[in-house]
Amino acid sequence: MVRFDTPEGATPIEDVSGLLVDGVYTYAALNAVEAENILRAVNVHLGSNKRIEGPWLTDELIRRVHKDMFDQVWEWAGKYRSSELNIGVAVHKVREEIEKLCQDVAFWDAQMDGAMPFIERVVRLHHRLAWIHPFQNGNGRHARIMADIYLHVNGLPLPTWPSASIGASGDEMKEYIQALKNADAGDFGPLVKYTGKFLPMEGK
């Protein structure tokens, strides 16, 4: 039976029954085939001008982006998880929390007086998706791409995420996980600062 040794802080991959690719026996090999799939999704969702008037974040978009990211690797791509994980909300609350998130983003975007700074809105979206952990796996990468889409539909520059180092053990991963934990406690400053490191100067 194949079992992937995931880095500290990553969701363990204990069930590989949904794996669609043959000959993948290591975490590095899995990352490689997933990266190809994700690149295609990036080209679809971030490859053209997509300015949208009105609410843009929907349950359907959240699931479609995840499906586009992993549909050639995992059978469950784009499907909300059906089992409990060591992180994330309880399974029966996933859809409820996704609906709340979509409503919150629409509310943030509709505010005029005293509106929340846009970078904080992006970071809060990123954090909430990671906190909900709606899918069996790939939640961190999905949350970062959804944050990128939020910037993209508003015509703003995208961060250049250090994907390799975020997905591996080391200081970058530890800083990222700690920033998410701080956000869990209501302190979004570290995640704003972390995200800002990878934004072009004009996007800061």
pLDDT digits (tens, 9 = 90+) for 54-96: 689 999 999 999 999 999 999 999 999 999 998 999 999 999 9
Return the amino acid letter for 198.
Answer: F
3-class SS at 19? strand
Q: Which residues of the chain have pLDDT under 50?
A: 1, 202-204
CA atoms within 13 A of residue 188's CA, in its CB half-sphere: 16
Instruction: Report how far residue 77's alpha carbon sits from residue 137's, in angstroms, rounded to the nearest whole number.
Output: 9
The predicted pLDDT at position 1 comes to 45
Alpha helices in 7-74 (DSSP H): 27-46, 59-70
The predicted pLDDT at position 11 comes to 66
Q: What phi, psi does 21 have (nearest 5°)?
A: -105, 130
The predicted pLDDT at position 190 comes to 97
The predicted pLDDT at position 114 comes to 81
Over residues 164-174, the pLDDT tens digits come to: 667 666 788 88
Q: What phi, psi does 171 have (nearest 5°)?
A: -65, -40
Tokens at 42, concatenated: 């990036």
Tokens at 114, concatenated: 């005293």
Cβ atoms of 66 and 135 within 8 Å: the answer is yes
The predicted pLDDT at position 48 comes to 75
State the residue for tokens 């995931």.
6
State the residue for tokens 């961060």.
159
> Which domains can be identified in the chain, with CATH numbers?
27-203 (1.10.3290.10)
3-class SS at 80? strand
